[in-house]
Amino acid sequence: MKWVKLTSFYALVVVIVVIAVFPFYYAVVTSFKSGTALFRISYWPESLNWANYISVLTSRNFPISIWNSVFVATLTVVFALFLAVTASYALSRVQFRGRALILMTILGVSMFPQIAVLAGVFELIRFLGVFNTPWALIISYTIFTLPFTVWVLTTFMRDLPMEIEEAAIVDGASPWVIITQVFLPLMWPALVTTGLLAFIGAWNEFLFALTFTSSETTRTVPVAIALLSGASEQEVPWGNIMAASVIVTVPLIILVLIFQRKIVAGLTAGGVKG
Amino acid sequence: MTTEATNPPHTAARSGMSELKRQRVRAAMWFLVPMLAALAIVAAWPLARTIWFGFTDTTLNNLYGGEFIGFENYLTWRELSSGAIRWRGILADPSWWNAVWNTVYFAVISVFFETVFGMIVALVLNAEFKGRGLVRAAILIPWAIPTIVSARMWGWMLNDQFGILNDIFLNLGLISQKIAWTASADTAMTAILIVDIWKTTPFMALLILAGLQMVPRDIYEASRIDGVHPVKVFFRITLPLIRPAIMVAVIFRTLDALRIFDLVYVLTPNSAATKTMSVIARENLIDFNKFGYGSAQSTLLFLLITAFVALYIWLGRVNLSGETER
Amino acid sequence: MAQLQLKNVRKSYGSVEVIKGVDLDIKSGEFMVFVGPSGCGKSTLLRLISGLEDITSGDLYFDGERVNHLAPSKRGIAMVFQSYALYPHMKVYDNMAFGMKLEKAGKEEIDKRVRAAARLLQIEEYLDRLPKQLSGGQRQRVAIGRAIVRDPRVFLFDEPLSNLDAALRVATRLEIAKLHHSMNNVTMIYVTHDQVEAMTLADRICVLRDGVVMQVGSPAELYEKPNSLFVAGFIGSPKMNFLTGEFAAKYDCHTLGLRAEHILITDDNPAWRGKVVHSENLGSDNFVFLDIGAEEPVIVRREGNAPVAIDSEMGISPDPKWMYRFNEAGKPIES
């Protein structure tokens, strides 16, 4: 009886792992095939053909897309963290009227459907003259990275010990000094996690990236991969698509696995705590 | 120091705040202003403009040439010479109602299955067994993969001719002939659901797991000593205790599902069977040059989501802010 | 060095008043201890003095200057916290120098003061370490050192010893006492819930209960002349025995208070007789718990360590010089 239970439990575990990993595994397998091998279904890797990778990485635009994505995501995160650190100090450590209202507003903004602001942001970006530049994306990504970072950092800062701040107050530290010289050094783990999650969000974003860029040289990676297609339905370059997918996913997976504990904590912060 | 001390006492008494508190509140305001300004520029103002555009006949080519047309984008009628009344506008547009149906159907089904599967995965991860860390790492992979990438990966697996899924199902005898998953109207929505459930169950599982781990272990031990059946323990003890965690996870997922765009756009382009509200709104805004009309549709989606949040907070009395009453 | 004056100081959180009108003079150079059970408002009172909390109404004077609204850093105070509250990422030296650096003091001046304080507390060898590399006792010394470097008018201690183990607590207590003497008798205010700490350290003790000052006086005064049942019960270890009903009526009072050390064991016409239910042998003394039919057993001190048999009979009489008689309101009856 116990034996049956244990076996079925491990069977379930195996099913979960296989379903979770198989699509990515299959993408990797496919990315190493080319020519007609591509259209023969195989469950196990047969060849190690780098042709697809070489073709993607030497193409005119894909490396530019990678650079665009790195640039946009990095700047978005830096910008959001910069604004969020001071704001979340105010929201977590200072008592003032309207604090709950601001927190609810921020939560509300984080729930906005992106499409609801698409028209307005489109106009704004045209008005600022940044259409089809990375700045259009950096500006528009703030709508989801900023509320998220403020929210997570606020929950984190709320848990920092009160007495350390009070010791700093007695020592004569202003709020700015408390943030920069006392709290920031204690917050690196939280900043890294929050920054990473915001980075992934910006890296994966599609709707704004699709709408606010119009030329191949300004596209980010998701748009580039989505629009990678052949001359006709029959000529979809699946090998190249899979190679490109693997290229942009592997760094993310590595980062996520390195920081997995912190990421889980960051994802659940605020949400489940209350 | 003396200047502070010679402050006339009545001013201090009137403000009722010490120098320290005043300094902190003033600093807090300065810290919040840039963040709030940024949100006003990228969120509040665009939202207001979107709503405004919804009342105009603006086109993409001429953003400032639109004129106010009231509710014409939403609903208007015209009497034909024959005397019959022709309704026009979003609310009389069958493709819009099709999109609404698709969106709601997708949200309900996907969130339901994600919750059930997420629960199962969370329960597995909450058990002590060898290789638990490995399983947790494995389920993080679908979450880490960009939606677009997973759409294309699955698009390949679901390919009608060369897709591995058809091959597996044929070999298992589940289907008798190859299915054009993404192209056929009957199965397109199923394909979208499969990919979304695959990609998002991990997130659900992690949130539920966090809730599970806050349930004290001795509760289980006590009920085991009392000889309560595990299934009963789950429904009578575990489920009520993690209900708040599930509620929060469900609301976040539902909000996400209601605004789905990228998966549909990439996996089943131009399929009426899967077109959601976000997809159709963007189509009108950008592709069809009906900027005002698309804005109105965006506004409706926004209203739907707002109504959902309000309903949820009202029904569930969920304390989302995490602020505790002092 | 500073003289403090509290006049009808009140503090409320919303509609809840936690400090209910405190009048108190703290003399220059005095070691004042706030003591009371948890929730009595002693820590809040300290935080009002520090400026970390706002005074709701009333006045607070430092050397005659009203400081109600002055920022903590400008009051000339230094504070030692229960959790030490050292800056975890700064070395001991920087922890101690942080306040002076913010005041933009000269490097040499900072160095001089930090090293002097470190020498006084014998933590010179730890100056280059991080707080996490120190033991609890060492951390608390650094926290005290950080306070000394600020050269304050008033030292504030918020239960500084409660995170230390028993042995270290006694040692550190001694050091704080020595510090008070060596620092030209700087004014110190010390909060604790431990009446032994209060008795051993204080020049004067302020006993608080529910946000009200019950009694202020030297340790001896509180011990010998408690002005209420509460203070009588709070000061002294073991707790004073309280007898009511006919036991008290015999001595014309509502409650009769007797300290364990003021009860005579005698078989010569004792006031009461009882059965031994328990005894605690401390080596030098033996505390005998005697059931004489009152609500709780009476605790009696017996010198020496001769064992006492449980269930044996014993006769006791109060020492007539040390009887505390209280009326129904809990106030002492003057004899």
- Best of C48, C102, C110 to disrupt the A interface by mutation (most A CBs within 10 Å)? C102
pLDDT digits (tens, 9 = 90+) for B87-96: 888 898 899 9
Evaluate if residue A273 carries a pLDDT over 70: no
User: Edge-to-edge, what's the strand order for the sheet holding C77-80?
Assistant: C77-80, C154-158, C187-192, C31-35, C204-209, C212-217
- Chain C: closest CA distance from residue B26 (Å): 14
For A236-253, give one letter per residue: b (16+ CB within 10 A) or e.
bbbbbbbbbbbbbbeebb
Evaluate if residue B326 carries a pLDDT over 70: no
pLDDT of residue B309: 83
SS (H, E, C) B240-304: HHHHHHHHHHHHHHHHHHHCCCHHHHHHCCCCCCCCCHHHHHHHHHHHCCCHHHHHHHHHHHHHH
* Any A CB within 8 A of C70 CB: no
pLDDT of residue B7: 40
Give the span between the Cα atoms of A115 and B296, in whole angstroms: 11
User: Edge-to-edge, what's the strand order for the sheet holding C4-13?
Assistant: C16-26, C4-13, C57-62, C65-66
C67 CB neighbours in chain B (<8 A) are: 5
Give the span between the Cα atoms of A51 and A62, in whole angstroms: 15
Instruction: List the single residue in B7, B20, B326 with the smallest CB-CB distance to C51.
Output: B20
Q: Give the N- to C-terminal CA distance of chain C in Å, as an integer.
A: 40
Instruction: List the single residue in C72, C85, C146 with the smallest CB-CB distance to A163.
Output: C85
- Chain B: closest CA distance from residue A182 (Å): 16
CB A240 within 8 A of CB B167: no
Give the span between the Cα atoms of C127 and C91, in whole angstroms: 7
- Chain A: closest CA distance from residue C87 (Å): 7
- Chain B: closest CA distance from residue C171 (Å): 36
Evaluate if residue C187 carries a pLDDT over 60: yes
Give the span between the Cα atoms of C123 and C142, in whole angstroms: 7
- Chain B: closest CA distance from residue A24 (Å): 7
- Chain A: closest CA distance from residue C88 (Å): 8
- What is the architecture, at CATH level 2, of domain C238-326? Beta Barrel (2.40)
- Chain A: closest CA distance from residue B8 (Å): 24
Count how many pairs of residues, chain B against chain C, have C-beta atoms within 8 Å: 36
Report the pLDDT averaged over residues C255-270: 90
pLDDT of residue C214: 95
pLDDT digits (tens, 9 = 90+) for C284-304: 889 999 999 888 899 999 888
List the single range of A108-112, A191-195, B136-140, C191-195 with lowest mean pLDDT.
A108-112
pLDDT digits (tens, 9 = 90+) for A129-163: 999 999 999 999 999 999 999 998 998 898 888 99
Fill in the DSSP letter of residue A254: H
Confidence of residue A274 (pLDDT cuts 50, 70, 90): very low
What percent of chain C shows pLDDT beyond 70?
Answer: 99
CB C302 within 8 A of CB C285: yes
Q: Which residue has the tokens 């903004």?
A: A109
Report the pLDDT averaged over residues C67-72: 91
- Best of B152, B157, B199 to disrupt the A interface by mutation (most A CBs within 10 Å)? B152
Confidence of residue B324 (pLDDT cuts 50, 70, 90): very low
Report the pLDDT averaged over residues B229-235: 83
pLDDT digits (tens, 9 = 90+) for C101-111: 999 999 999 99
Whether C72 sits inside 8 A of A169 (CB atoms) is yes
C310 alpha carbon, distance to own chain's centre: 35
Fill in the DSSP letter of residue B40: I
Give the span between the Cα atoms of A167 and C50, in whole angstroms: 11
Give the span between the Cα atoms of A195 and A77, in whole angstroms: 6
Domains of chain A: 2-49 (no CATH), 59-268 (1.10.3720.10)
Is the pTM value of this prediction over 0.90? no
Evaluate if residue C250 carries a pLDDT over 50: yes
DSSP B162-200: T-HHHHHHHHHTS-SS---TTTSTTTHHHHHHHHHHHHH
Instruction: List the single residue in C13, C65, C71 with the smallest CB-CB distance to B19.
Output: C71
Instruction: List the single residue in C50, C72, C87 with the smallest CB-CB distance to A164.
Output: C87
pLDDT of residue A113: 87
pLDDT digits (tens, 9 = 90+) for A65-78: 999 999 999 999 99
Instruction: List the single residue in B146, B157, B209 with the smallest CB-CB distance to A203.
Output: B146
Angle between helical axes of A62-93 and A188-204 (0-180°, round to 10): 140
Fill in the DSSP letter of residue B70: G
Residue of B nearest to A177 (CA): B27
Question: For residues A135, A138, A141 and A143, what is the CA-based torsion angle, rounded to 10 degrees?
Answer: -90
Confidence of residue C189 (pLDDT cuts 50, 70, 90): very high
Evaluate if residue B321 carries a pLDDT over 60: no
Tokens of C186: 């700087």
Whether B4 sits inside 8 A of C70 (CB atoms) is yes
Tokens of A240: 């190249």
Report the pLDDT averaged over residues C3-19: 93
Give the span between the Cα atoms of A1 and C50, in whole angstroms: 67
Residue of B nearest to C50 (CA): B20
Angle between helical axes of B94-126 and A2-31 (0-180°, round to 10): 130
B285 CB neighbours in chain A (<8 A) are: 118-119, 122
Distances C101 to A170, C150, C330 between C-alpha atoms, Å: 13, 10, 53
Tokens of C197: 């700490």
- Chain A: closest CA distance from residue C47 (Å): 10
Give the span between the Cα atoms of A76 and A62, in whole angstroms: 21
C65 CB neighbours in chain B (<8 A) are: 5
Evaluate if residue B163 carries a pLDDT over 50: yes
Burial class (CB in 10 A: 0-12, 13-18, 19+), A144: buried
A249 CB neighbours in chain B (<8 A) are: 144-146, 149
Which residues numbered 8-27 in B keep a CB inside 8 Å of some CB on C? 9, 12, 16-21, 23
pLDDT of residue B325: 36
pLDDT of residue B237: 83
Confidence of residue A233 (pLDDT cuts 50, 70, 90): low
Evaluate if residue B12 carries a pLDDT over 80: no
Which residues in A have their CB inside 8 Å of a CB on C? 161, 163-164, 166-173, 177, 181-182, 185-186
C74 CB neighbours in chain A (<8 A) are: 172
Residue of C nearest to A173 (CA): C102
Give the span between the Cα atoms of B195 and A170, in whole angstroms: 56
List the single range of B50-59, B204-213, C38-47 with lowest mean pLDDT.
B204-213
Are domains C4-233 and C238-326 of this chain identical in fold?
Answer: no
Burial class (CB in 10 A: 0-12, 13-18, 19+), C244: middle
Residue of C nearest to A171 (CA): C99
Whether C85 sits inside 8 A of A166 (CB atoms) is yes
Evaluate if residue B1 carries a pLDDT over 80: no
Whether C52 sits inside 8 A of B9 (CB atoms) is no
Report the pLDDT averaged over residues C53-60: 93
CB A69 within 8 A of CB A221: yes
SS (H, E, C) chain C: CCCEEEEEEEEEECCEEEEEEEEEEECCCCEEEEECCCCCCHHHHHHHHHCCCCCCEEEEEECCEECCCCCHHHCCEEEECCCCCCCCCCCHHHHHHHHHHHCCCCHHHHHHHHHHHHHHHCCHHHCCCCHHHCCHHHHHHHHHHHHHHCCCCEEEEECCCCCCCHHHHHHHHHHHHHHHHHCCCCEEEEEECCHHHHHHHCCEEEEEECCEEEEEECHHHHHHCCCCHHHHHHCCCCCCEEECCHHHHCCCCCEEEECHHHEEECCCCCCEEEEEEEEEECCCEEEEEEECCCCCCEEEEEECCCCCCCCCEEEEEECHHHCEEECCCCCECCC
Among positive and negative, which fits the CA dihedral B127, B131, B133, B134?
negative
List the single range of A91-100, B9-18, B259-268, C74-83 with lowest mean pLDDT.
B9-18
CB C221 within 8 A of CB C24: no
Whether B4 sits inside 8 A of C51 (CB atoms) is no
Burial class (CB in 10 A: 0-12, 13-18, 19+), C43: buried
| Among A61, A106, C89, A188, CA closest to B36 | A106
Whether A186 sits inside 8 A of C82 (CB atoms) is no
Evaluate if residue A90 carries a pLDDT over 90: yes
Domains of chain B: 2-44 (no CATH), 91-316 (1.10.3720.10)
Q: Which helix (H) or strand (E) holds A203?
A: helix A188-204
Whether C52 sits inside 8 A of A167 (CB atoms) is no
Whether A170 sits inside 8 A of C73 (CB atoms) is yes
Evaluate if residue A88 carries a pLDDT over 90: yes
- Chain C: closest CA distance from residue A161 (Å): 8
CB C253 within 8 A of CB C54: no
Confidence of residue A228 (pLDDT cuts 50, 70, 90): confident
Instruction: List the single residue in B50, B140, B286 with the smallest CB-CB distance to A117.
Output: B50
Whether B249 sits inside 8 A of A267 (CB atoms) is no
Evaluate if residue C96 carries a pLDDT over 80: yes
Evaluate if residue C3 carries a pLDDT over 70: yes
Evaluate if residue A270 carries a pLDDT over 50: no
Which other chains touch chain A, taking contact as 3+ CB pairs less than 8 Å apart?
B, C
ipTM of this complex prediction, to 2 decimal places: 0.89
Fill in the DSSP letter of residue B86: E
Which other chains touch chain B, taking contact as 3+ CB pairs less than 8 Å apart?
A, C
Three-state DSSP at A113 gives coil
pLDDT of residue B149: 94
Evaluate if residue B143 carries a pLDDT over 60: yes
pLDDT of residue B206: 87
pLDDT of residue A268: 65
Confidence of residue B198 (pLDDT cuts 50, 70, 90): very high
pLDDT of residue A225: 92
pLDDT of residue B316: 62
CB A77 within 8 A of CB A202: yes
pLDDT digits (tens, 9 = 90+) for C76-89: 999 999 988 999 99
Tokens of A254: 């590595």
Evaluate if residue B10 carries a pLDDT over 50: no
Evaluate if residue B9 carries a pLDDT over 50: no
Average pLDDT, chain C: 91
Burial class (CB in 10 A: 0-12, 13-18, 19+), C90: middle
- Chain A: closest CA distance from residue C114 (Å): 14
Fill in the DSSP letter of residue B77: E
Give the span between the Cα atoms of C77 and C81, in whole angstroms: 13
Which other chains touch chain C, taking contact as 3+ CB pairs less than 8 Å apart?
A, B
pLDDT of residue C237: 84
Would you kindly state where each structural domain of chain C is located, as residue ranges?
4-233, 238-326
pLDDT of residue A231: 60
pLDDT of residue A189: 85
| Among C234, A48, A123, CA closest to B66 | A123
* Any A CB within 8 A of C105 CB: no
Residue of B nearest to C63 (CA): B5
pLDDT digits (tens, 9 = 90+) for A175-223: 999 999 999 999 988 898 899 989 999 999 999 999 999 998 999 999 9
- Best of B158, B288, B321 to disrupt the A interface by mutation (most A CBs within 10 Å)? B321
Evaluate if residue B15 carries a pLDDT over 80: no
- What is the architecture, at CATH level 2, of domain C4-233? 3-Layer(aba) Sandwich (3.40)
Residue of B nearest to C65 (CA): B5
Put residue C184 in one of left, alpha, beta given phi > 0 → left and psi -120 to 50 → alpha: left
- Best of C46, C47, C52 to disrupt the A interface by mutation (most A CBs within 10 Å)? C52
For B265-278, give one letter per residue: b (16+ CB within 10 A) or e.
bbbbeebebbbbbb
Higher pLDDT, C326 or B324: C326
Evaluate if residue A51 carries a pLDDT over 70: yes
- Best of C52, C69, C77 to disrupt the B interface by mutation (most B CBs within 10 Å)? C69
Instruction: List the single residue in B9, B17, B20 with the smallest CB-CB distance to C72.
Output: B20
